[in-house]
Amino acid sequence: MFKRILIFIIFLMALPVLYFKAEELSLAYYALSSFMLLPMFYLYSERAIFLFRSSVAIFVICELYFLARFTEFEMLFLLVGHLGALGALIVYRRTWLYQLKLETDRNEELLRSWEMLKHKHQNRLENLQHLEKQAASLMDLFEMARDFSESLNYDVLAELIYKRVRPELPFQEMSLILNAEESKEALKPFRRYAITEKGVAFDDFEPPEPERNLMQKALEEKRLQLVDSKWLFPLAIENDVLAYLSVAGADQGDLAKFEVLVSHLVLQIKKIRLYETVRELSIVDSLTQVFVRRHCMDLFESELKRSMKHGFSLALLMLDIDHFKRYNDDFGHLVGDATLREVAAVLRSNLRKVDIVARYGGEEFLVIIPETGARGALEAAERIRSSIARHTFKVYDVVTKVTVSAGVAVYPQGTEKMPVNSEPGTLMRELIHQSDLALYRAKEEGRNRVVRYQDL
């Protein structure tokens, strides 16, 4: 609307040409023509190019008209002044637009710099928040590691991983594969603990050749990524491989956390192995690999209490290698020790897993057979005696044979005359005494035989 009013003013300024006389016209134009520059400048500043050009054309026509009609010096001066003012306005406008463009460019550059700084600041805040979350997660892992230190066997360790680790580091399945251990008898299979959302399951298995190759490759590379988010970590200290940890279905971003977990598991498994070694040394005879006397007494007391509570029978066998002192004198103590070790192996092979075998003295063995009466005890003792008598002992360059004598005592038959409220310790001493007497009778009768205390 304002632009239309300006155009109307410009046309009104041309009316003096039609209604005023020459002198009056020149005076009127002289008075009004200066104002004509203002709407022109406004139109130019607003970039209304068509309107600006129209007003300039009218202005030039008016100026030419007065220049052609009047030649007075004043009119010529007025024309030159108007044209000069118009040119000055145009130059000023261009200069002002140029300065405005420079300021606009500078402002845009500052705005871009500010946006860049804002973006960097935002990124740093996000990185800081991510690091804080990582630090918090690592602290949680350290707290879990503190709980690991309380576990002294693999079953408890697997349960802790299921209860504590899985909620913090989600995964579909994790397998803790304990390394095989070689013994003189056989190669034990790998023990595998599978941890899933359902719980913990374990089994013994022998890895096929492809899996063994993957384990070896993982050991060489410290970590092996199988497919996507499935990893295989070797748990090793120097060249001693303790176990392998297989993780499937985990978040790729949690890889660093699993590496921290692996470092804690390595130390804990090493601790469990050391604990089991010390425990085994304290309860297992290093020569014969059967229980030592002290631990056997603890197990004997536990089994006797269970038999007393539930009314079960319990058999006790005491065995002694015949003429073993002379055997050592004839063949030497190295052969004697090796023979002791083989006798213990034959003993274990003729008993159940629940039966307890211990080295009671130098060449004496004590066998505890739970839930077994007199008949079963005699059968077990005779089976052991005959197996050892038939066995050929090949030790170094010596091929020999040995025999054993056995004494048998049975609970509750052997303790019926004792007080009903007798303590387990008292009953234990009585049963050991009875089996020892039966063993002594077996030796008196010629050795290589089994005698039951009740048959004395």
Q: Fill in the DSSP letter of residue 164.
A: I
| 332: in domain | yes
Q: In what order do the strands lie in the sheet with 356-359?
A: 356-359, 364-370, 314-321, 404-411, 450-452
| 288: in domain | no
Whether residue 315 sits in one domain with residue 233: no
Q: Inform me whether the pLDDT recorded for 21 exceeds 70.
A: no
| 136: in domain | yes
For the stretch 320-348, pLDDT in tens is 999 999 998 888 888 889 999 999 999 99
The secondary element (H helix, E strand) that includes residue 191 is strand 190-196
Whether residue 115 sits in one domain with residue 244: no
Compute φ and ψ for 285, nearest 5 degrees: -70, 125
Whether residue 378 sits in one domain with residue 419: yes
Residue where a domain stops, chosen among 257, 283, 309? 283
213 vs 251: CA distance, rounded Å: 25
Mean pLDDT of 60-83: 61
Q: What is the CATH number of the domain that holds 445?
A: 3.30.70.270
Q: Count other Cβ atoms within 10 Å, centred on residue 62.
A: 21
| Range name among 67-76, 205-214, 240-249, 369-378 with the lowest pLDDT average | 67-76
Domain limits for position 319: 293-455
Give the total number of structural domains in the chain. Answer: 3
| Range name among 229-243, 309-323, 402-416, 433-447 with the lowest pLDDT average | 229-243
Among residues 71, 75, 86, which one has the least CA distance to residue 34? Answer: 86
The whole model's pTM is what?
Answer: 0.51
Mean pLDDT of 380-387: 94
